[in-house]
Amino acid sequence: MNISRDARGWALPLILSLYCAAAQTAVTPHLSHQEFTRRLVAAALERTHHSVRYVSAYVRIPYPGGDVPADTGVCTDEIIRAYRAVGVDLQKEVREDMLQNFSAYPNKRRWMLAHPDSNIDHRRVPNLMVFFARKGESLPITNRGADYAPGDLVAWDLGGNVPHIGIVVDQESPESGRCMIVHNIGEGPKMEDVLFNWRITGHYGYFGPGN
C-alpha cells in the first residue's frame, strides 16, 4: 500500500499534554493519518515513563492482546505497546498475516520454525520489518534527518546482524535538530538522538489495519 508522504501530516504540535488522553482511545475506521500519528507518538513518549528491565526470554502469552510482564521487554515490545495504546494489536495483525503468508517471513530459515507462534513472532524485529513493509509503507533510507518523520518506524543493524527497532517522535534534539527516537536498547524505553548511531536497515510507516 502506497501512502503519499504529503498526506501523513507529520508536522505535529510539540505539546505532549494534548496527546495523552487521546493516546488511550481505540482507533476508529475513520481516524486520519495525522490523528493516528499524534496518538501513536504520544503513546511512544508515554512509554519513556515506565521502568522496564531488558529481558529477551521466550514467554508464553495469551492471544490476542498478550504481553510479557509489564516491567520487562525488548525493543519490539515498546513498538507493540505503543500501537496497543492506539488500538492496534500487532500480535494479532502479524499472526493473521503470517498464517496466510508464512513463506514471506524469515521464521523458517532464521529460527527453523515450521509454523507461526503467537507468543514470539510479533516480538522479532525481522518479522515486524516484513509486516510493516507488507501492510504499511516502506520509506526511503537516507542520511537526511529531515526524511524521518514523527510516527515513522526505523530498524537498524547494531552490528553482527543484531537487529533493533524504534519509533521517531516529535521532540527535536537541541544538538542535531533531528527528531529523536523512542527505543529500548537495554535500559528500558528512552528518548534519544540515535537515528544515525547504527546502520539503518528499514524505514516504515504503518497506520493500522485497513489504512
CA atoms within 13 A on the CB side of 56: 10
pTM of the model: 0.85
Query: What would the CATH number be for the domain defined by 5-205?
Result: 3.90.1720.10
- Domain map (residue ranges) of the chain: 5-205
pLDDT, averaged in runs of 10, over the chain (211 residues): 43 36 44 95 98 96 98 98 98 97 86 90 97 98 98 98 97 97 98 98 96 87
pLDDT at 15: 33
C-alpha 179/C-alpha 154 separation (Å) is: 12
Residue whose entry in the numeric block shows the C-alpha cell 513472532 = 121
C-alpha 180/C-alpha 190 separation (Å) is: 10
Find out whether 101 and 93 touch, Cβ atoms under 8 Å.
no
Cα dist from 3 to 23, 31, 139, whole Å: 23, 15, 10
pLDDT at 200: 98
Residues in the chain: 211
pLDDT at 30: 58
